Chain A
Amino acid sequence: DAGVIQSPRHEVTEMGQEVTLRCKPISGHNSLFWYRQTMMRGLELLIYFNNNVPIDDSGMPEDRFSAKMPNASFSTLKIQPSEPRDSAVYFCASSLLVSSEQFFGPGTRLTVL
């Protein structure tokens, strides 16, 4: 079975550019989570969706970050404009609504120059 799929795996961009990260959750999972991982701050939850509806976006750093989930099989995390401090690994995870067990994708390593 396919796990959580993320693209791209690596992204290098220049400050001020728009960045879009993509995620396909495990089929049948109805909760989706976006995390950011850095050495300094560890794993931080940015936002999560239940049944395609954003439930908690309190972890989104600022208005430059936005996330959408137009359907059960696709989500995007957009950063516009990007800044060097946004450099991190961004993970998407999914789970069943009734379960605590979250399954992570391989991550997108973002570097903003």
Chain B
Amino acid sequence: GQQLNQSPQSMFIQEGEDVSMNCTSSSIFNTWLWYKQDPGEGPVLLIALYKAGELTSNGRLTAQFGITRKDSFLNISASIPSDVGIYFCAGQGETSGSRLTFGEGTQLTVNP
């Protein structure tokens, strides 16, 4: 089946620093999604990507759909304490129907 490798597993940064995390897939995806999960809450959709090479921003967040369609990255610029949480990538493959495959998550800690 499809597998997603997300890295890094965790990051500890200072407020104001930029952050980058990425996901790679063993197979081609048609859609990449990035979610953030706060403690005790469900994942919240941050950015959706639909085309290879697509670069999309949402405030301080920027995500790109890799040209090979097997990878995606998420950048957070000028991090702030409320960026703390777990970030998940998710992809939808050509033969997966409505099913999403999720990465293992990146735990982000921002020190003020």
Contact = CB atoms under 8 A, between A and B. Distances in A.
Interface residues of B, number: 22
Given A42-B105, A43-B88, A97 B98 contact: yes
A95 B98 contact: yes
A54 B30 CA distance: 23
A93 to B, nearest CB: 8
A100 B31 contact: yes
Nearest to B35: A104
Interface string A29-45: 00101000000001101
A25 interface: no
Contact of B33 (A42, A91, A101): A101
21 contacts: A31-B98, A42-B104, A43-B88, A48-B98, A48-B99, A50-B98, A55-B98, A56-B97, A56-B99, A95-B98, A97-B98, A100-B48, A100-B98, A101-B45, A102-B33, A102-B100, A103-B45, A104-B42, A106-B40, A107-B41, A107-B42
Contacts of A42: 102, 104-105
Nearest to A50: B98
Contacts of A95: 98
Interface in A72-95: 91, 93, 95
Given A42-B104, A45-B100, A107-B41, 10 more contacts: A42-B102, A43-B102, A48-B98, A56-B97, A56-B99, A91-B42, A97-B98, A100-B30, A100-B48, A100-B100
A50 B98 CA distance: 9
A100 B43 contact: no
A101 B45 CA distance: 8
B46 to A, nearest CB: 11
A106 B90 CA distance: 18
Contacts of B43: 43, 91, 104
A92 B71 CA distance: 26
Contacts of B42: 4, 91, 93, 104-107
Nearest to A105: B42
A69 to B, nearest CB: 14
A92 to B, nearest CB: 8
